[in-house]
Amino acid sequence: MKFRPLHDRVVVRRLTAEEKTAGGIIIPDTAKEKPMEGEVVAVGSGARNEAGEIVALDVKAGDRVLFGKWSGTEVKLDGEELLIMKESDIMGIVAAA
């Protein structure tokens, strides 16, 4: 992908939704909700503070993150559906267990 987000924006790939519930019930496509978890694909250089200095972002490419249900703008790049959002729309980084 030849796309680099600007400033404090982040490109996120949604993780696929679960096909079954914990009890084993298969969820049909029409009942699935969009997952609120994704993987960071690319990050911008950072936002500027009041002094004009660039402040680096806390997330980096490869991080698994949680974000709001309606966060970001959906775009299609190289045939892949991605989200572009500000770093402030990300609620947190999911640590590997």
Give the separation between CA 30 and CA 22, rounded to whole angstroms.
19
Q: What is the pLDDT along the chain (97 residues), one digit of tens a residue?
A: 678 888 889 999 988 765 655 666 666 655 556 668 899 999 998 888 889 888 888 899 899 999 988 888 899 988 888 999 999 899 988 886 6
In 1-97, where do the E strands start and end? 9-14, 37-43, 47-48, 54-55, 64-67, 73-77, 80-86, 90-93
pTM above 0.95, yes or no: no
Residue 24: its pLDDT value, please? 67
Is residue 43 within 8 A of residue 71, CB to CB? The reply is no
Identify the DSSP state of 51. Answer: T
Domains of the chain: 9-18+28-93 (2.30.33.40)
Give the 3-state secondary structure of residue 14: strand
